[in-house]
Amino acid sequence: MDKKRFHDKVAVITGAARGIGFACAERFISEGARVALIDIDEKGADAARKLGSGAVFLKCDVGERAQIESAIARFPKTHADVDILVNNAAVPCRGDILALTEEDFLHALKVNLLGAFHFSQLCARQMMQRACEGNPPGTIINIGSINSVLAMPEATAYCASKGALLQLTRASALALAPYGIRVNAVGPGSVATERNTESLGRVSARTPLGRFGTPEEIAGVVAFLASPDAAYITGEIIYVDGGRLVLNYTAR
């Protein structure tokens, strides 16, 4: 594998203080990119320090457009021209249709869906302009979920937000295709991160590969979609779920 596929590229990753977002940041840095880590949690500063001088941290709530605009305006010159945007930040949000409050529902939509909309729109305008000036087109990757298509009653708002994110991916891909800008999504299954507190028994009972995925396994597919190897892929979602979505019975 060419270790420096992203030499001289700038990747912006939301929700990168930990988990899958951090693994993506680590992967892009290891392949030569400069990376801007965006997170509401100031621990993102430590995460960026761990990654070395190519990484910067900007504190930002992706649910607030003004904060995104301010974060983008604060990108150092080295990180100002965004080639790769990964919309990863999300909140889980528990509650079924009977219990869910409007406030919780809106919060999930704001972070998980509107955040991706705002970041994509602001970065895509810049990518479009740069593409029109003859630069290589940028690319956007949204982190969906198997819950983009699989429903869970106790995660109604999360499922609604991730389902809509899939359609945002497809519609944005069509709008940006004339500029060569590709928009895709990755849909993880159960991944071992701090936020996933499910037991291995529960996960392996419904996962043919019989284990959690790792954040690095998600990051590898994100990197593939951002790379020239995926130059003819747009409007697509790749599920990285250990076979979960094709399962029609209990695995074990």
Instruction: Provide the annotated active-site residues.
Output: 158
By CB under 6 A, residue 185 contacts ligand NAD: no
The sign of the CA dihedral 168, 173, 178, 180 is positive
* Contacts (Cβ under 8 Å, ≥6 apart) of 230: 182, 184, 224
Of the residues 36, 40, 68, 93, which one makes contact with ligand NAD according to CB under 6 A: 40
**Chain centroid to CA 68:** 16
Say how far apart CA 143 and CA 185 lie, in whole Å: 6
Query: 61: closest CA among 90, 81, 93, 19?
Result: 90
User: In terms of CB distance, is 54 or 63 closer to ligand NAD?
Assistant: 63
Say how far apart CA 37 and CA 119 lie, in whole Å: 13
Which window, 28-36, 78-86, 185-193, 220-228, contacts ligand NAD (CB under 6 A)? 185-193
User: In terms of CB distance, is 30 or 196 closer to ligand NAD?
Assistant: 196
Shortest distance, CB of residue 220 to ligand NAD, whole angstroms? 14
Say how far apart CA 94 and CA 195 lie, in whole Å: 13
By CB under 6 A, the residues from 66 to 125 that bind ligand NAD are: 88-91, 111
> Which phi and psi angles does 131 have, rounded to 5°?
-65, -40
User: In terms of CB distance, is 54 or 189 closer to ligand NAD?
Assistant: 189
By CB under 6 A, residue 33 contacts ligand NAD: no
Say how far apart CA 147 and CA 139 lie, in whole Å: 23
By CB under 6 A, residue 163 contacts ligand NAD: no
By CB under 6 A, residue 204 contacts ligand NAD: no
User: In terms of CB distance, is 196 or 204 closer to ligand NAD?
Assistant: 196
By CB under 6 A, residue 19 contacts ligand NAD: yes
Secondary structure of residue 156 in the 3-state scheme: helix
By CB under 6 A, residue 195 contacts ligand NAD: yes
Which window, 2-10, 38-46, 71-79, 220-228, contacts ligand NAD (CB under 6 A)? 38-46
Of the residues 138, 163, 188, 242, which one makes contact with ligand NAD according to CB under 6 A: 188
**Count of CB atoms situated within 10 Å of the CB of 163:** 18
Structure-token pair, residue 72: 């983008």
DSSP 135: P
User: In terms of CB distance, is 84 or 89 closer to ligand NAD?
Assistant: 89
Shortest distance, CB of residue 179 to ligand NAD, whole angstroms? 26
By CB under 6 A, residue 190 contacts ligand NAD: yes
Say how far apart CA 45 and CA 28 lie, in whole Å: 17
Secondary structure of residue 3 in the 3-state scheme: coil
- Residues of this chain that bind ligand NAD (CB under 6 A): 14-15, 17-21, 39-41, 61-63, 88-91, 111, 143, 145, 188, 190-191, 193-196
